[in-house]
Amino acid sequence: MRDNHPDRIVRHRMAVLRHAEEVTGNVAATCRYFGISRPTFYTWAKRFDLEGPDGLKERSRAPKSHPQATPTEVVGKIIHLRQTYHFGPAKISMYLKRYHDITVSQSGVWRILKRLDLNRLPSSQRYKCHERRWKRYECQRSLKSGPFSACEF
């Protein structure tokens, strides 16, 4: 149950605990009725006994530690290469491997750039298609005398 109203979540969980205690007296029947698992019920009951109604609030599900996270020094180098030289993920990965002996995959570099909103270069620094880099000027050629008779310089 993902809801943005913490009071509603607490009231729902209190109702589940009260239902098991007062109405059925049976945890399994209550869990079937509300569509929750028994371990979830016992987790809520334990939290309620320890902390009261505050223990029934929604908690963060994010892990407390990230042991495989890219070190901040490497992220700093990736940011520097992107902002200074406008390298893409493949070139950043190759550069870090060759000159710093740091192995980060291309997709890992891209995810770091994406997380920091650096995955798109400004339009003035993006690669432009060969046809759009410059506009070729061609003047109309007439049958009059001289090759530049239609174009005035």
Is residue 105 assigned to a domain?
A: yes
Q: Which domain holds residue 33?
A: 6-56
Residue 96 lies in a domain: yes
Q: 28 with 38: CB under 8 angstroms? A: yes
d(CA 8, CA 111): 36
Mean pLDDT of the chain: 87
**What pLDDT shows up at residue 8?**
93
The runs of H, that is alpha helices, within 2-136 are 6-18, 27-34, 38-51, 72-85, 89-100, 106-115
User: What one-letter code names the amino acid at 139?
Assistant: C
Q: Is the pLDDT score of 110 beyond 60?
A: yes
89 lies in some domain:
yes
Q: Per the structure, how many domains does the chain have?
A: 2
**What would the pLDDT profile of 8-54 be if each residue is shown by its tens digit?**
999 999 999 999 999 988 999 999 999 999 999 999 999 999 999 99
**In 3-state terms, what secondary structure has residue 21?**
helix
Is 128 within the bounds of a domain?
no
Give the whole-angstrom CA distance, residue 85 versus residue 76.
Answer: 14
Structural domain contains residue 91: yes
